[in-house]
Amino acid sequence: MDAPFPSPHELVRPWRRATVVASLVAAVELVLLIVAAAALFAKPLSHAIQRHAEAVAVAKPKHATAVPVHRVVVTPPPVGRARPRSHVKIMVLNGNGRSGAAAGEASRLSGLGYQVAGTGNAKRQDYATSVVMYRPGYRAEGLRLARDLGVKVVGPLDGIRQGQLDGGQLAVVIGA
In the chain, what is the straight-line distance between the N-terminal and C-terminal CA atoms, in Å?
85
- DSSP 8-state assignment for residue 86: G
For residue 152, the enclosing domain spans 86-174
Please state the rounded mean pLDDT for residues 102-122: 87
Q: For residue 79, which of 20, 143, 122 has the smallest C-alpha distance?
A: 143
Assess whether 96 and 134 both reside in one domain: yes
Tens digits of residue pLDDT in 116-156: 888 888 888 888 888 888 888 888 888 888 888 888 888 88
- Averaged confidence pLDDT in the chain: 79
Among residues 86, 80, 60, 64, which one has the least CA distance to residue 156? 60
- Do 121 and 52 have their domain in common? no
Q: How many CB atoms lie within 10 A of CB 136?
A: 15
Does the pTM surpass 0.85? The reply is: no
CATH code (residue 132): 3.30.70.2390
In a domain, 159, yes or no: yes
